[in-house]
Amino acid sequence: MSEIAPVLIAGQWRAANCAETFRAENPITQEPLSGEYPVSAWEDCDAALTAAAEAADQLLEISPKRIQKFLLRLADLMEANRESIGQLASQESGLPEKRLAGREMDRTTDQIRQAADAAADRSWKQISIETKRDMRSMLAAIGPVAIFSPNNFPLSWNTISGGDFASAVAAGNPVIAIANSSAPGTTKILAELAFQASQEADLPAGMVQFLYRLSHADGKRLVADSRIGATAFTGGTAAGLALKAAADAVGKPIYVAMSSVNPIVFLSNAIREQGEELVNRFGNVCLKGTGQFCTQPGLAIVIDGAESQGFIAAIKSKFDESTPGTLGSKKTLENLVAKIEVLKKAGATVISDEGKSKGEGYSHPNTLFQVSGADFLKSPAALQTEAFGNAAMFVVCQDIAEAKAVIDSLHGQLAGCIYSSTDGADAAAYATLAPRLRRKVGRFMDDKMPNGMPVSIGMGHGGPFPASGHPGFTSVGIPNAMRRFAVLQSYDQARHNHLPEELQNKNPSGQLWRNIDGQWTTGDVADA
């Protein structure tokens, strides 16, 4: 038997309290990888929570510059180890090593560095000072943050390097990271680098803590514990709702990203004008990465006619001709198969080649569905089930009125788009549908596939439930994503020497943006 990997608690790599273990698999070969990992008992959670609570207290006296140093060092260490990280992440996920060590690594370290600079800048705190009433407020760290991550982005959404981690730390919070069970080895390497960086920055022992897996009961207990400030979760609906219910029951903030089919409307004149280009764009996006993107367009709405029927036929050919990719895990495959059956039973018809041979390892034939608008409206909840993977569905409506009704029946989504012609021929249809779709999605686009999310202050990655639990927040984009892990602190006529330095009359850095009596300024209060 191999040695069980240690957990990181209170600044020490130590043996886990566990009654069972697990191993990761290579989803291409379907064989277990080396390494045995513990399913931690509650004792590990309890110890981590105690250390995190102590770290949160210690962080009150620590300069944001130290947090900046930590994050910048972590980014440097990750890049210095990009080959070994990319290699192991590829083995655990089945994703191309070149992508992981290249674009995804670059995106991840860029996000971390943006968070580092935002931590030092402090303008994310949204400081407000009203001199007439002597009222002052700002955002401040919320306390220990628990993070659960998906397996489709082993680096940029990892519990120990992804956006939730960078945002929580930059806001001044210690983190308890729970690895995704499909990426335990990759996450361990990242945890080792994060621990090294935290030591070099002289941060508290409980700043970064790391466990591999918890039981469902202990996961719910963790997010509801009195010592937790907030939780971030990205993953399946069932697990997300279970954690959300536990946290909501005791009033603990939890930010969940769960299910989204990211609807795209292809208007008839756009298809006539851009047909071949749209076939390539839509087909490629649906099948890229075996469809394992939270922004993958799983639902396409068209108006029945010669253009749309030709478009659907061309997409079907693309699905049939493309070799299916490998899914990230056996569980991902099982979930995809189950959701495909849900869609079939609800009335969707598979129009792609169900008998097509599968790809390597955990894979499934590329699956394209079609359903009429009328039938969709009979079972809208079931027919917008997210089949996470290489599957998509066309909803063929008889007219714009029916398309409007289909959009109105959708639940909350992360993203949505309308393709319309450039000559204005679709203007009336667009004017009818766009306001309806706008209310259903977090991020709205014209003539653009929803994949790809630049880490930008203008990016919004969230949306109405069940795409996310809080439609007013984003999990991508610095500094906005940091505000999920903050509390609003208000001071009413507090003695000046009792105020945090950010709220005192003198601007602490001379560069910090503050709203003083309704005007944003970097000046002192007396100068405003």
Contact 504, 445 (CB under 8 A): no
DSSP helix/strand/coil, 430? helix
* pLDDT (average), residues 492-496: 94
Is the pLDDT at 335 greater than 70? The verdict is: yes
Q: What is the CA radius of gyration of the chain?
A: 24
Q: E strands along 420-527, which residues?
A: 441-446, 486-492, 514-516, 519-521
3-state SS of 343-369? HHHCCCEECCCCCCCCCCCCCCCCEEE
Q: What is the pLDDT of residues 379-427, one digit of tens each?
A: 999 999 999 999 999 999 999 999 999 999 999 999 999 999 999 999 9
CB atoms within 10 A of CB 474: 26
Contact 387, 339 (CB under 8 A): yes
* pLDDT (average), residues 141-152: 95
Is the pLDDT at 1 greater than 80? The verdict is: no
> For the domain bounded by 7-25+32-121+137-258+474-481, which CATH number is listed?
3.40.605.10
Spatial separation of the C-alpha atoms in residues 449 and 523, rounded to whole Å: 43
Backbone φ, ψ for residue 240 (5° rounding): -65, -45
Is the pLDDT at 128 greater than 90? The verdict is: yes
Q: What is the pLDDT of residues 248-274, one digit of tens each?
A: 999 999 999 888 999 999 999 999 999
Lowest mean pLDDT among 3-7, 46-50, 165-169, 233-237: 233-237
Q: Helix 42-59 crosses helix 216-223 at what angle (to 10 degrees)? A: 20
Instruction: Assess if CATH 3.40.50.300 describes domain 264-446.
Output: no
List C-alpha distances in Å: 433 to 206, 264, 271, 371: 50, 11, 17, 19
Is the pLDDT at 452 greater than 90? The verdict is: no
> In the structure, what pLDDT confidence band is assigned to residue 21 with cuts at 50, 70 and 90?
very high
Find, among 335, 431, 340, the residue nearest to 391 by Cα. 340
* pLDDT (average), residues 461-477: 84
Q: What angle do CA 36, 37, 40 make, to 5 degrees?
A: 150
Quote the distance between the C-alpha of residue 360 and its chain's center. Answer: 27
DSSP 37-61: EEEE-HHHHHHHHHHHHHHHHHHTT
Is the pLDDT at 231 greater than 70? The verdict is: yes
Contact 218, 41 (CB under 8 A): yes
Contact 211, 147 (CB under 8 A): no
Structural domain spans, the chain? 7-25+32-121+137-258+474-481, 264-446
Q: Is the dihedral of CA 264, 268, 273, 276 positive or negative?
A: positive
* pLDDT (average), residues 348-363: 89
DSSP helix/strand/coil, 133? coil
Is the pLDDT at 29 greater than 60? The verdict is: yes
pLDDT value at residue 528: 53
Pinpoint the alpha helices (H) of 153-232: 163-170, 184-200, 216-223
Spatial separation of the C-alpha atoms in residues 153 and 165, rounded to whole Å: 14
Q: What is the pLDDT of residues 416-439, one digit of tens each?
A: 999 999 999 999 999 999 999 999
Backbone φ, ψ for residue 250 (5° rounding): -115, 10
pTM over 0.75: yes
Spatial separation of the C-alpha atoms in residues 109 and 477, rounded to whole Å: 13
**Residue 497, both tokens:** 């020497």
Question: From its phi and psi, is residue 515 left (phi > 0), alpha (psi between -120 and 50) or beta?
Answer: beta
**Residue 118, both tokens:** 């935002």
70/356: higher pLDDT:
70
CB atoms within 10 A of CB 270: 26
CB atoms within 10 A of CB 385: 21
Spatial separation of the C-alpha atoms in residues 231 and 249, rounded to whole Å: 14
**Residue 116, both tokens:** 């580092």
* pLDDT (average), residues 173-194: 97
Contact 194, 160 (CB under 8 A): yes
188/509: higher pLDDT:
188
Same fold: 7-25+32-121+137-258+474-481 with 264-446: no
